[in-house]
Amino acid sequence: MPPFDMWEGFFDPDNILKALGCGNVPGDVVEFGCGYGTFTIAAARRISNIVYTSDIDSSMVRATIDRAEQAQVRNVVVENRDFVSDGCGLPDSSASFVMLFNILHIEDPVSLLREAHRVLHVGGSVGVIHWRRDIETPRGPSLEIRPQPSQCREWAEQAGLRWFSSTDLPNSPWHWGMILGHRADGGRLVRSNVDRPR
């Protein structure tokens, strides 16, 4: 992770979450990789339920806990966890919204998307953002491992999810955004107007 002040300057968390549909969601939110808590705290302020988040880096976990305390946000549960190997540890179909932000460049993205699918209840959605690879960006993983939106759509379908839409991210020119959700009818992909490419 880059220094805190630099990292914070890359995002407009409130407007990104709004663009991805994380508003007044009726249930809990799950975030894979809290980092500095940039999106954790913003999500917690938008919902009345719990934001469950984890990170393999104990220093990021501590930073997010401290930030939640400073912000007096009480609906956040932070865990030091290797969610890539062990999953998020939450029950099936327990989340209304899942955040996969700047994480799908990992070695096995489909497995992580499957875990997001497992924990998401029907009617919920998965928000995805990632660093663009078609322009020069100030940070981010190497270009070779940055996923393209079309790749993520394919991975999502392999994981049992469905592409709903791609969206512009306010004040975040270095990232692209995507909204995923459950397939209908037990896994069969149902096409609708929202599935049409933009």
Residues 159-174 have a mean pLDDT of 92
Residues 111-126 have a mean pLDDT of 95
Q: How far apart are CA 45 and CA 39, in angstroms?
A: 10
**β-bridge partners, 78:** 53
Residue type, 67: R
Q: Given a cut of 90, is residue 138 above it in pLDDT?
A: no
26-82 tens-digit pLDDT: 899 999 999 999 999 999 999 999 999 999 999 999 999 999 999 999 999 999 999
Residue pair 178/154 in contact (Cβ under 8 Å)? The answer is no
Is the C-alpha dihedral spanning 43, 49, 55, 59 positive or negative? positive
Residues 105-117 have a mean pLDDT of 95
Other Cβ atoms less than 10 A from the Cβ of 88: the count is: 22
Q: How far apart are CA 125 and CA 105, in angstroms?
A: 20
Residue pair 140/11 in contact (Cβ under 8 Å)? The answer is no
Sorting pLDDT into bands at 50, 70 and 90, what band is 190? very low
Tokens 């998307």, residue located:
113
Helices (H), the chain: 4-8, 13-19, 38-46, 58-70, 83-86, 109-119, 149-158
Q: Given a cut of 50, is residue 178 above it in pLDDT?
A: yes
| Sequence-separated (6 or more) residues with CB below 8 Å from residue 100 | 32, 112, 113, 116, 126, 127, 128, 129
120-136 tens-digit pLDDT: 999 999 999 999 998 88
Tokens 């890359």, residue located:
10
**Domains contained in the chain, CATH given:** 4-178+185-195 (3.40.50.150)
What average pLDDT does the structure give for the chain? Answer: 87
Token pair listed for 68: 């939640």
User: pTM surpassing 0.75?
Assistant: yes
Tokens 């030091």, residue located:
80
Other Cβ atoms less than 10 A from the Cβ of 35: the count is: 21
Q: Given a cut of 90, is residue 141 above it in pLDDT?
A: no
Q: How far apart are CA 30 and CA 191, in angstroms?
A: 26
> Would you state the pLDDT for residue 184?
58
In the chain, % of residues over pLDDT 90: 71
> Would you state the pLDDT for residue 137?
85
